[in-house]
């Protein structure tokens, strides 16, 4: 089943001209996420809207950012480990 899906995906991608990342863009995407960046994003969240499927509004993240930032940073670092954007480029 996975082989068939992979062939279908390859066929689909072969019919489209996909943009290529420049080296500078690849390096930018591969840059580690920092706690400062997470804090900046949290600071700029709209307070009355939920940024994701958890249903928590931006105000929640802003109120508990001291507790949330280390958790998100660890999560992003763990998720990123062993993955590079350049591997995702066809």
Q: What's residue 10's pLDDT?
A: 86
For residue 89, what pLDDT band results from cuts at 50, 70 and 90? very low
Give 23's Cβ-side CA count (13 Å radius). Answer: 0
For residue 83, what pLDDT band results from cuts at 50, 70 and 90? low
CA dihedral (14, 17, 22, 23) in degrees, to 10, reads: 10
Domain extent listing, the chain: 19-88
Burial class for 13, CB neighbours closer than 10 Å (0-12, 13-18, 19+): exposed
Report if pTM > 0.85: no
Task: Give CA–CA dist 36/14, Å, rounded.
Answer: 39
Q: What confidence tens digit (pLDDT) does each residue in 32-78 have?
A: 899 999 999 999 999 888 988 889 999 999 999 999 999 999 988 88
């Amino acid at each position: 089943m996975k082989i068939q899906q992979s062939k279908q995906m390859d066929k689909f991608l072969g019919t489209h001209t996909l943009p290529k990342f420049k080296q500078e863009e690849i390096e930018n995407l591969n840059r580690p996420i920092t706690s400062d960046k997470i804090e900046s994003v949290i600071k700029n969240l709209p307070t009355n809207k939920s940024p994701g499927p958890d249903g928590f509004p931006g105000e929640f993240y802003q109120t508990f950012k001291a507790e949330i930032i280390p958790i998100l940073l660890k999560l992003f670092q763990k998720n990123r480990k062993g993955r590079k954007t350049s591997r995702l480029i066809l």
